[in-house]
Amino acid sequence: EAQVTQNPRYLITVTGKKLTVTCSQNMNHEYMSWYRQDPGLGLRQIYYSMNVEVTDKGDVPEGYKVSRKEKRNFPLILESPSPNQTSLYFCASSLWSSGTGELFFGEGSRLTVL
Protein backbone atom coordinates (compact mmCIF):
# COMPACT_ATOMS: atom_id res chain seq x y z
CA GLU A 1 0.00 0.00 0.00
CA ALA A 2 1.30 3.44 -1.00
CA GLN A 3 1.72 5.52 2.10
CA VAL A 4 3.58 8.12 4.11
CA THR A 5 4.37 6.90 7.61
CA GLN A 6 5.13 9.18 10.53
CA ASN A 7 6.33 8.23 13.98
CA PRO A 8 5.54 8.85 16.72
CA ARG A 9 1.87 9.72 16.25
CA TYR A 10 1.65 11.25 19.71
CA LEU A 11 4.41 12.59 21.90
CA ILE A 12 4.59 14.57 25.11
CA THR A 13 8.02 15.89 25.97
CA VAL A 14 9.66 18.59 28.05
CA THR A 15 11.41 21.77 27.04
CA GLY A 16 14.92 21.21 25.77
CA LYS A 17 14.79 17.45 25.28
CA LYS A 18 15.86 16.69 21.73
CA LEU A 19 13.43 14.69 19.66
CA THR A 20 13.08 13.36 16.15
CA VAL A 21 9.89 12.73 14.22
CA THR A 22 10.47 10.22 11.47
CA CYS A 23 8.81 10.25 8.06
CA SER A 24 9.06 7.55 5.44
CA GLN A 25 7.36 7.12 2.07
CA ASN A 26 7.24 4.05 -0.16
CA MET A 27 6.21 5.77 -3.41
CA ASN A 28 9.67 6.75 -4.67
CA HIS A 29 8.69 10.41 -4.48
CA GLU A 30 11.38 13.03 -5.02
CA TYR A 31 9.68 15.75 -3.05
CA MET A 32 9.06 15.64 0.69
CA SER A 33 7.93 18.36 3.06
CA TRP A 34 7.05 19.03 6.67
CA TYR A 35 4.12 21.15 7.81
CA ARG A 36 2.79 22.20 11.16
CA GLN A 37 -0.90 22.87 11.67
CA ASP A 38 -2.15 25.24 14.34
CA PRO A 39 -5.70 26.52 14.97
CA GLY A 40 -6.36 29.70 13.02
CA LEU A 41 -3.00 29.52 11.24
CA GLY A 42 -3.58 26.56 8.97
CA LEU A 43 -0.82 24.44 7.50
CA ARG A 44 2.55 26.16 7.45
CA GLN A 45 5.56 24.72 5.67
CA ILE A 46 8.64 24.11 7.82
CA TYR A 47 11.13 22.56 5.40
CA TYR A 48 11.00 20.80 2.09
CA SER A 49 13.31 18.64 0.03
CA MET A 50 13.40 18.25 -3.71
CA ASN A 51 15.64 15.19 -3.58
CA VAL A 52 18.41 13.46 -1.62
CA GLU A 53 20.73 15.98 0.04
CA VAL A 54 18.61 18.90 -1.26
CA THR A 55 16.64 20.70 1.44
CA ASP A 56 15.32 24.23 1.80
CA LYS A 57 13.50 26.35 4.32
CA GLY A 58 9.78 26.85 4.23
CA ASP A 59 7.90 29.61 6.01
CA VAL A 60 8.57 28.63 9.64
CA PRO A 61 11.95 26.83 9.85
CA GLU A 62 13.18 28.31 13.15
CA GLY A 63 13.84 25.68 15.78
CA TYR A 64 13.77 22.77 13.33
CA LYS A 65 16.30 20.77 11.36
CA VAL A 66 15.87 18.20 8.64
CA SER A 67 18.02 15.83 6.65
CA ARG A 68 17.50 13.83 3.47
CA LYS A 69 20.12 11.11 3.30
CA GLU A 70 17.84 8.61 1.62
CA LYS A 71 15.05 9.25 -0.86
CA ARG A 72 12.40 7.58 1.26
CA ASN A 73 13.17 9.22 4.62
CA PHE A 74 12.85 12.82 5.77
CA PRO A 75 13.15 13.15 9.56
CA LEU A 76 12.23 16.33 11.42
CA ILE A 77 14.56 17.16 14.29
CA LEU A 78 13.78 19.47 17.20
CA GLU A 79 17.14 20.07 18.88
CA SER A 80 15.75 21.97 21.86
CA PRO A 81 11.95 21.90 21.80
CA SER A 82 10.00 24.78 23.30
CA PRO A 83 6.30 25.06 24.21
CA ASN A 84 5.60 27.14 21.08
CA GLN A 85 6.45 24.05 19.04
CA THR A 86 3.43 22.27 20.45
CA SER A 87 1.50 21.49 17.30
CA LEU A 88 0.20 18.89 14.87
CA TYR A 89 2.89 17.98 12.37
CA PHE A 90 2.35 16.51 8.92
CA CYS A 91 4.87 15.03 6.57
CA ALA A 92 3.96 14.98 2.89
CA SER A 93 5.50 13.70 -0.31
CA SER A 94 4.92 14.25 -4.00
CA LEU A 95 5.98 12.82 -7.32
CA TRP A 96 6.87 16.24 -8.57
CA SER A 97 7.77 15.04 -12.06
CA SER A 98 4.18 13.84 -12.54
CA GLY A 99 3.17 17.47 -13.01
CA THR A 100 0.15 17.33 -10.75
CA GLY A 101 1.98 18.45 -7.63
CA GLU A 102 -0.38 16.33 -5.52
CA LEU A 103 0.79 16.04 -1.94
CA PHE A 104 0.31 12.75 -0.08
CA PHE A 105 0.17 13.29 3.66
CA GLY A 106 1.10 11.14 6.58
CA GLU A 107 -1.38 10.67 9.42
CA GLY A 108 0.14 13.40 11.52
CA SER A 109 2.17 13.59 14.72
CA ARG A 110 0.71 15.48 17.65
CA LEU A 111 3.50 16.95 19.73
CA THR A 112 3.13 18.56 23.14
CA VAL A 113 6.09 20.35 24.69
CA LEU A 114 5.71 21.10 28.41
Partner 1 sequence: QKEVEQNSGPLSVPEGAIASLNCTYSDRGSQSFFWYRQYSGKSPELIMFIYSNGDKEDGRFTAQLNKASQYVSLLIRDSQPSDSATYLCAVNGAGGYQKVTFGTGTKLQVIP
Contacting positions for partner 1 (CB under 8 A): 31, 33, 35, 40-45, 48, 50, 56, 58-59, 90, 96, 100-103, 105-108
What are residue 45's DSSP bridge partners? 35
User: Shortest Cβ distance from residue 50 to partner 1 (Å)?
Assistant: 6
Closest to partner 1 by CB, 72 vs 96, is 96
Closest to partner 1 by CB, 91 vs 113, is 91
Closest to partner 1 by CB, 46 vs 113, is 46
For 95, 105, 111, 114, the CA distances from 33, given in Å and listed in that order, are: 12, 9, 17, 26
Strands 54-57 and 109-113: unpaired
For 7, 31, 54, 85, 103, the CA distances from 51, given in Å and listed in that order, are: 21, 6, 5, 26, 15
User: Shortest Cβ distance from residue 48 to partner 1 (Å)?
Assistant: 6
User: Shortest Cβ distance from residue 14 to partner 1 (Å)?
Assistant: 25
Residue 80 C-beta-side C-alpha neighbours within 13 Å: 2
User: Shortest Cβ distance from residue 63 to partner 1 (Å)?
Assistant: 19
